[in-house]
A and B are shown apart, each in its own frame.
Chain A
Amino acid sequence: MPGKLKVKIVAGRHLPVMDRASDLTDAFVEVKFGNTTFKTDVYLKSLNPQWNSEWFKFEVDDEDLQDEPLQITVLDHDTYSANDAIGKVYIDIDPLLYSEAATVISGWFPIYDTIHGIRGEINVVVKVDLFNDLNRFRQSSCGVKFFCTTSIPKCYRAVIIHGFVEELVVNEDPEYQWIDRIRTPRASNEARQRLISLMSGELQRKIGLKVLEMRGNAVVGYLQCFDLEGESGLVVRAIGTACTLDKLSSPAAFLPACNSPSKEMKEIPFNEDPNPNTHSSGPSTPLKNQTYSFSPSKSYSRQSSSSDTDLSLTPKTGMGSGSAGKEGGPFKALLRQQTQSALEQREFPFFTLTAFPPGFLVHVGGVVSARSVKLLDRIHNPDEPETRDAWWAEIRQEIKSHAKALGCHAVVGYSESTSICEEVCILSASGTAAVLNPRFLQDGTVEGCLEQRLEENLPTRCGFCHIPYDELNMPFPAHLTYCYNCRKQKVPDVLFTTIDLPTDATVIGKGCLIQARLCRLKKKAQAEANATAISNLLPFMEYEVHTQLMNKLKLKGMNALFGLRIQITVGENMLMGLASATGVYLAALPTPGGIQIAGKTPNDGSYEQHISHMQKKINDTIAKNKELYEINPPEISEEIIGSPIPEPRQRSRLLRSQSESSDEVTELDLSHGKKDAFVLEIDDTDAMEDVHSLLTDVPPPSGFYSCNTEIMPGINNWTSEIQMFTSVRVIRLSSLNLTNQALNKNFNDLCENLLKSLYFKLRSMIPCCLCHVNFTVSLPEDELIQVTVTAVAITFDKNQALQTTKTHVEKSLQRASTDNEELLQFPLELCSDSLPSHPLPPAKEHLESASSNSGIPAAQRDRCSSWIELIKLKAQTIRRGSIKTTVTVEKASPVGDGNFRNRPAPPCANSTVGVVKMTPLSFIPGAKITKYLGIINMFFIRETTSLREEGGVSGFLHAFIAEVFAMVRAHVAALGGNAVVSYIMKQCVFMENPNKNQAQCLINVSGDAVVFVRESDLEVVSTQQPTANCQSSGTEGEVTT
């Protein structure tokens, strides 16, 4: 019996009137967890009842603790008839299961009813006493931390990034065909909410188990999605990146300040908390031990590999991929053979992260994506979701092979999505093929060391742009030049990626949001025929989306896309494609050429004239855009030196064959050769339309910028005002004579108008930038297009340039960056992320000896498989080697645990209505995140049978989204937090039936609850803390001040 859950119902307020006669309510509360239910007394005749209940205690398995939500139902007591439910609160108690997060959940929760929405609030206190569990074969994974953030969370240090974890669970949908049953809707919707809550708990637990198996203690970039497959069931699936994280507990720890590596090295593995004064000293929970257990196992010979994945890298470890040798070493080959098959089956070198510690990303190959059209069938055995698993495995395999074709061993910025219409489902996966920095390099052992030494001086500023693939055997025709930055390596002419712009990348000017929008009509069809039709359309759509992106990028005068997200949505009679990305000008890449228009009928004079007119317009636009986005690349005189590689030779090279599978459509992006991308041939009206549509995109009004990445390239002086918002639009197409053109225009207008509206609404924030602009398209019905946008507007100071960013980090980097101010643009990231690189030097020694033992050469040509292999091996070794230590430390844990939990609750827990910020970004400008309280993952259904009375569809959805925000904020506040970061609205499924005056909406949101401290406040705190810092690590003082 590993846990005791304690719940206290304190009071209610603003309850609805349930008794018309008295205008009052006789409320009581049912508290349910698993199969146990407790009830409070009935508090008679009040809209603000004070129950002040005893502590209700549930003694439960930790497996249940993870799976089950706490259900609180508020009811109105009725002597004569059945009690009426007022509403419910679901509380996910997961945040209480790991010690570093929240210790208590206490606060006012909105009481939610699927029909009436929020009806008053209830004050609840929840605590968990976790007991020790010695069972190694347990089914629970309490203590594994989950983060939605797709980068290493700000107050943590990544010790190891283990890799990809995925899981899915399936179930029958309690209400497939909801609209038919809308007459008895409340019960079925509540069942659905409960089920999904349960399923996500289970999924999280299972993922957690996998993480524990990999010896990790956290999942970063956790993305959980629902597939509402209708009659064939409900799928909840999740992906994430398993990591071993170390908490940086004192503010001083953010400073990249440790000069005595040896000491650090000892401390970090054994005492994860470098500041014993603020926390109970010594090991406190079983989970943390798994972090420690690495150091004992260092003695194992194979441990050499452990540092392969070690994120903490010194600049010295930079590595040239092109020069890597092929000789793998016999031992290595043997190892690979032994583990290969198992790895290939289950393991994928994928990372859901989009931002990385400096030095982690060595090279970026380009976007890889795979799509597959499937016919849904009923899930026969929910316990064995093999079909769905197999589908995804196929796609991932595809991605993996694409990455390999690009000469990359890993995929970063990886994500998966689905689009379902009736029984057809499109599964999509995409990511960025990349070469990651896998190991430390020993001094002098590898040829090309000199080269790396040079790179060390310019730490990876341009390195990620260099091609990872063999230039003589390129997977696609591309135009290569020598890097405009270092002049040593080859770079492509354009770069598409799904990740955020690396913080150390040098960009020129500012970035901008670039979207490609596309509709394709398709015939209505059934089953197989439908799937085939869709499969046939997909490649054309991908191609066209890609062309549009490329053209728009050129039009902006930029040469790289970050955060690329291509969404293909399937409807009854059409397919929609929407690609969003942030365009930038990377200094390392060549200046993009213009766009040339070529007519097919050169004889016609007026036509010629038209063409030239068009050409002029395009040239003007490019010039204007360059000015707008401040793109003034320095004129490079050494053009001659960095002469392009002769093209004919590469053209003759073989293209890697793409995988062929009957029902799968895949495409390697970047499939454009230079010529294709730049010359637009106008041979019919369609093409004309395309060119026109290129020119219709209106730039945002002055003072506004927009991007879909975390931060806007070229803007750094953020001020603290942020405004997160969700905007939803649904348009009805006139069903008459729908053509592809008309459809495209409608869709284009829809998106453009939506953006215009946003700019207008947020005009009071100017100068500001819309960050993380996330568009989602769905086709709820035949003639309806729904676009949902979530983004955050952040103000920035136009005048205050770089003064504030002058930190010691800057100074240290100044040597390297003489000409590029851009390098210093994200001091916050630099500060927090650069720490991991410091404790490293000693690790190198370990490595050196270890790897020489094992005889594995440091660099491998075929990094891909060897690398994973080694991670895997390491995980296994550790499991075998460290059980003993783990157990002994665990015994001590209840004491430590107790200490931990006795700390006073965060100060903001009891305030009335504290402000809770929400942002899709992983940070809050002008503030430091001091604590992650746990993941927020909430699912709501709202329905109405009085649509008109609630203000029509707009009124209904407006109120519902406002309520969802409110519930998220309330939960965060109850955890003691004051913000949600990495917030995302993953689903917003809206259905209406105006004839019946009904509508229904499902919303799924998630994010990380955090505590942040304003930087201005933090300064005060840090001045009070120097003594503590000195004690924790005596060396820090030397450097900090």
Chain B
Amino acid sequence: MTSELDIFVGNTTLIDEDVYRLWLDGYSVTDAVALRVRSGILEQTGATAAVLQSDTMDHYRTFHMLERLLHAPPKLLHQLIFQIPPSRQALLIERYYAFDEAFVREVLGKKLSKGTKKDLDDISTKTGITLKSCRRQFDNFKRVFKVVEEMRGSLVDNIQQHFLLSDRLARDYAAIVFFANNRFETGKKKLQYLSFGDFAFCAELMIQNWTLGAVDSQMDDMDMDLDKEFLQDLKELKVLVADKDLLDLHKSLVCTALRGKLGVFSEMEANFKNLSRGLVNVAAKLTHNKDVRDLFVDLVEKFVEPCRSDHWPLSDVRFFLSQYAASVHSLDGFRHQTLWDRYMGTLRGCLLRLYHD
């Protein structure tokens, strides 16, 4: 006796959250059944393995049918085939678009192209996430990217509107899209200590302050691309380190303000010029795409690592950066105050976030 056909269709589509998770994690039906058995569900419910097998198959089939709709979540809301309560719809969407931290760290800043997709095998092996799940996550990134790529308006809003994600998840996707678009390098060894959250935090600051959208809300791609003009202008900041007087004056202003307040004052004093040069040079180099990509590498190399090697506590870093940014306003010879604020305000936030072990 073999079962040829075995289906269950409810007027309200049944969604089993546990099975959904297994499906999203890319387990085969057999593996999923094994995992469910291990969870002790048979003992709890008195069901047999055959029942579990049939149930799992059913859910998998349903999810498979739903997947097409999940690719364009508004469709899921308007479709007539599956009657699903709104709260369940939201859950389906949110979970489908959720991603693994380990996975996103691997592809963050990479071009969402076929080439990258080919590397998914390696990523799967490396992270222990099933290839199927990797593919789904990658395709999600790519799909969101494609849809919002050419859109006007706020990146987060667009993502939210077209994919009906929660605010939190939409922000994460905004960061992923932003990183993919600007191809920031995140995979270098010295960046490994950084989490996706760190990058997402920086991305949000950058989107808010450094993109076209920050100045003009009607431009295409406004949140995706950095404001070219702004990057161009950043060259002007070079005077802060190129002009020796200005640099000395800046240093003395900072040192005066921080004397006695910093645990690592002497180290700061000794390193000031190096640090300032580092930060200003990063700004000046951003006109080149290559250097934009290396932004995070540079920040870590030029600022985070030197401070860390001198064991600056985070509070000292905060004091220093505040003072370092604020003191510029007292430099009479410096005329690019707003530019400096736009640059340093964001950078300060990013650096503080990046500064940890």
Contacts and interface: CB of A to CB of B under 8 A. Distances in A.
Contacts of B14: 723, 761
B57 A954 contact: yes
A377 to B, nearest CB: 33
B55 A731 contact: no
Contacts of A912: 77-78
B116 interface: no
Given A746-B1, A757-B51, A958 B9 contact: yes
A335 to B, nearest CB: 51
A913 B1 contact: no
Interface stretch (A83-91, A300-308, A363-371, A915-923): A915-923
A915 B78 contact: no
A380 interface: no
Task: Report which residue of B4, B6, B47, B58 has the largest number of chain A beta carbons within 10 angstroms of its beta carbon.
Answer: B4
Interface size class of A (residues with CB under 8 A): 35 or more
A1004 B48 CA distance: 33
Interface in A625-661: none
B81 A963 contact: yes
Contacts of B7: 727-729, 954, 957-958, 961
B75 interface: yes
Contacts of B9: 725-727, 958, 961-962, 965
A140 B75 CA distance: 43
A753 B10 contact: no
Interface of A is mostly: mixed
Contact of A757 (B11, B12, B55, B64): B55
Interface string A964-1005: 011001100000000000000000001000000000000000
Nearest to B52: A760
B125 interface: no
Given A732-B4, A760-B45, A963-B81, A725 B10 contact: yes
B4 A784 contact: yes
Contacts of B13: 962
B200 to A, nearest CB: 33
A962 B81 contact: yes
Most chain A CB atoms below 10 A, which of B1, B5, B48 = B5
B50 interface: yes
Given A732-B2, A912-B78, A724 B10 contact: yes
B79 interface: yes
Interface string B258-295: 00000000000000000000000000000000000000
Contacts of B323: none
Contacts of A917: 11
A966 B81 contact: yes
A953 interface: yes
A954 B61 contact: yes
A969 B9 CA distance: 14
Contacts of A486: none
Interface string A108-120: 1010000000100
A701 B45 contact: yes
Interface in B1-38: 1-14
B5 A954 contact: yes
Among A756, A760, A990, the most chain B Cβ lie within 10 Å of the Cβ of A760
Most chain B beta-carbon neighbours within 10 Å: one of A734, A759, A958, A961: A958
Given A731-B4, A784-B4, A118 B11 contact: no
Nearest to A958: B7
A726 B5 CA distance: 13
B80 A969 contact: yes
B322 interface: no
Main secondary structure on B side of the interface with A: mixed
Contacts of B77: 912-913
A951 B61 contact: yes
B46 A701 contact: yes
A733 B7 CA distance: 18
B1 A731 contact: yes
Contacts of A763: 45
Contacts of B83: 915-916, 965-966, 969
B82 interface: yes
Contacts of A757: 8, 51, 54-55
B81 A953 contact: no
A962 B82 contact: yes
Given A756-B47, A962-B9, A110 B80 contact: yes
B65 interface: yes
Interface centre among A118, A724, A951, A962 (most CB of B within 10 A): A962
Contact of B65 (A701, A729, A730, A958): A958
B30 to A, nearest CB: 16
A118 B48 contact: no
B64 to A, nearest CB: 7
Contact of B47 (A723, A726, A760): A760
Interface in B55-70: 55, 57-58, 61-62, 64-65
A13 interface: yes
B80 A731 contact: no
B79 A14 contact: yes
Contacts of A76: none
Nearest to A960: B9
Nearest to B48: A756
A733 B78 CA distance: 42
A593 interface: no
A14 B75 contact: yes
A532 to B, nearest CB: 30
A118 B47 contact: no
A761 B4 CA distance: 20
Interface string A566-590: 0000000000000000000000000
Q: Which of B62, B75, B78 has the most CB of A within 10 A?
A: B78
A725 B46 CA distance: 22
A14 B75 CA distance: 8
Residue from B12, B62, B81 with most neighbouring chain A CB atoms (10 Å): B81
A749 interface: yes
A406 B8 CA distance: 42
Contacts of A750: 1
A245 B10 CA distance: 33
A756 B49 CA distance: 11
Most buried by B among A701, A963, A965: A965
Contacts of B52: 760
A750 B7 CA distance: 13
B70 to A, nearest CB: 15
A913 B5 contact: no
Interface string A758-781: 111101000000000000000000
Interface string B79-95: 11111010000000000
Contacts of A273: none
Contacts of A957: 5, 7
Which of B6, B7, B75 has the most C-beta atoms of chain A within 10 angstroms of its own C-beta? B7
Interface string A889-933: 000000000000000000000001101111000000000000000
B11 A729 contact: no
Interface string A612-630: 0000000000000000000
A955 interface: yes
A542 interface: no
Contact of B4 (A730, A734, A915): A730
Closest CB pairs A-B (n = 7)? A730-B5, A725-B10, A730-B4, A724-B11, A961-B9, A918-B11, A958-B7
Given A734-B1, A954-B61, 12 more contacts: A14-B78, A729-B5, A730-B4, A731-B3, A732-B1, A750-B1, A759-B47, A760-B52, A954-B6, A958-B9, A961-B9, A965-B11
19 contacts: A13-B78, A14-B78, A701-B46, A723-B12, A726-B9, A727-B7, A729-B6, A730-B4, A731-B1, A734-B1, A746-B1, A760-B55, A912-B77, A917-B11, A953-B4, A958-B62, A958-B65, A962-B9, A966-B83
Interface of A: 13-14, 108, 110, 118, 121, 701, 723-734, 746, 749-750, 753, 756-761, 763, 784, 786, 912-913, 915-918, 951, 953-955, 957-959, 961-963, 965-966, 969-970, 990
